[in-house]
Amino acid sequence: MSYIVTTQTRASSVSAIAGILLILMLIALPFFAGRGTIQDMFFILTMLTLAQFWNLLAGYGGLVSIGQQAFVGAGAYALFALVILGGFDPVLAVALAGFAALAIAVPTAFFAFRLNGAYFAIGTWVIAEVVRLIASQWKSLGGGTGTSLPRDATRDMWFVEMIEETLGVRSAAARDILAYWIALVLALVTIGGIYWLLRTRRGLALAAVRDNIEAAKSVGVDAGRMKWMVFLTSAFGTGVAGALIYLQKARISPDAAFSVTDWTAYVIFIVVIGGIGTMEGPIIGVLVFFALQSLLADFGSWYLMTLGVLAISIMLVAPRGLWGLVSERTSLQLFPIQRRLRGGRLTTSEDQ
């Protein structure tokens, strides 16, 4: 009886090839694109990373957090502390910043896991507020008003000189290119890592916990451990992304780094618009979000109001988002995680 269990679809094979081409193009982008494009792409990639991690939490883990800004802020503050107070190189500090977010995430989970559903959501928000208020007491990083990264730290950053020479650009542009490449790596590792996770046994367990926690427990899935794993993974990745975002901004303040609008509301809208609980959703969502922002950013509060109304409508009319609409009509899957049987033939016990 020869059969194989596979998750591959024809579309996914085609998309894998297209994906590789796209990645090569993105790597090469700084060689032919201007600084404005690089900055836009940096924004898209970092928001995509944040969205993928929130989607892992809420869409796959069923943990609706409104406190992701705690980890963005923690990562960002860790970067500034490591560079300003510790004298670390910023590139290294970005990587280490994830651990600061992790350090915040452990007590957060300890408290927030005592709350269920909607109360978990507000609980994470309260803790993010606590972290923000504590950060604004951190006098050596500027207290409530914040501080900037010292010029010489960013000028002498690893790889910057190399990029300046290779691409023949000025130091400021080289820093943007470096940040872009790191953001690209981070986004790819995030997407690849989450995709890998969902295809493993743990991914199956995760889906089982989300769909029916009692049934999952009864077949031996450790639901508590799954929640911890997802929460800590998301916090780490969100922290690294936060540090990277503030490496590029080079200026921090508690209100900005712990902004619920910038780091959680936007991210939720991206995921909901694109399609929650899918890998493709955040990608579609971030592109729509960027387009809307380019079109409407000048209108200030009208823009946010539109986003809010759009998210409400999508949740009511098409709860699986834009990607849900696409895949319902075409059954297209770029990141297939469903397991299919191929080859062999279906038999019942009586045949054997």
Torsion of CA 36, 38, 40, 45, to 10 degrees: -170
- The yes or no reply on residue 207 touching another protein (CB under 8 A) is no
- The yes or no reply on residue 184 touching another protein (CB under 8 A) is no
Give the Å distances, CA to CA, from 155 to 88, 96, 152, 163.
Answer: 13, 20, 5, 12
Q: Restricting to residues 52-111, name those near another protein by CB under 8 A.
A: 58, 62, 64, 66, 111
What is the identity of the amino acid at 271? Answer: V
Element (H, E) at 73: helix 69-80
Closer to another protein at the Cβ: 118 or 341? 118
Stretch that binds another protein, among 43-51, 197-205, 233-241, 301-309 (CB under 8 A): 301-309
d(CA 290, CA 17): 25
**Site for another protein (CB under 8 A): which residue of 1, 17, 316, 346?**
316
- The yes or no reply on residue 4 touching another protein (CB under 8 A) is no
215-218 long-range contacts (CB < 8 A, ≥24 apart) are: none
- The yes or no reply on residue 311 touching another protein (CB under 8 A) is yes
- The yes or no reply on residue 208 touching another protein (CB under 8 A) is no
Q: Is 208 helix (H, G, I), strand (E, B) or coil?
A: helix
Element (H, E) at 102: helix 90-112
- The yes or no reply on residue 315 touching another protein (CB under 8 A) is yes
Give the burial class of 232: count Cβ atoms within 10 A of its Cβ; 0-12 exposed, 13-18 middle, 19 or more buried.
middle
Residue 316 CB, nearest approach to another protein (Å): 6
d(CA 120, CA 122): 6
Asked if residues 29 and 183 have their Cβ atoms less than 8 Å apart, the reply is no
Residue 89 CB, nearest approach to another protein (Å): 33
Residue 301 CB, nearest approach to another protein (Å): 4
- The yes or no reply on residue 307 touching another protein (CB under 8 A) is yes
Closer to another protein at the Cβ: 66 or 184? 66
Closer to another protein at the Cβ: 127 or 244? 127
d(CA 113, CA 18): 41
- The yes or no reply on residue 332 touching another protein (CB under 8 A) is no
Q: Restricting to residues 114-173, name those near another protein by CB under 8 A.
A: 114-115, 117-119, 121-123, 125-127, 129-130, 133-134, 136-137
Torsion of CA 159, 161, 166, 171, to 10 degrees: 110
Stretch that binds another protein, among 3-11, 27-35, 230-238, 298-306 (CB under 8 A): 298-306
d(CA 120, CA 160): 42
Site string for another protein, 6-45 (x = CB under 8 A): ----------------------------------------
Residue numbers at the binding site for another protein (CB under 8 A): 58, 62, 64, 66, 111, 114-115, 117-119, 121-123, 125-127, 129-130, 133-134, 136-137, 260-261, 265, 268-269, 272, 276, 300-305, 307-312, 315-316, 319
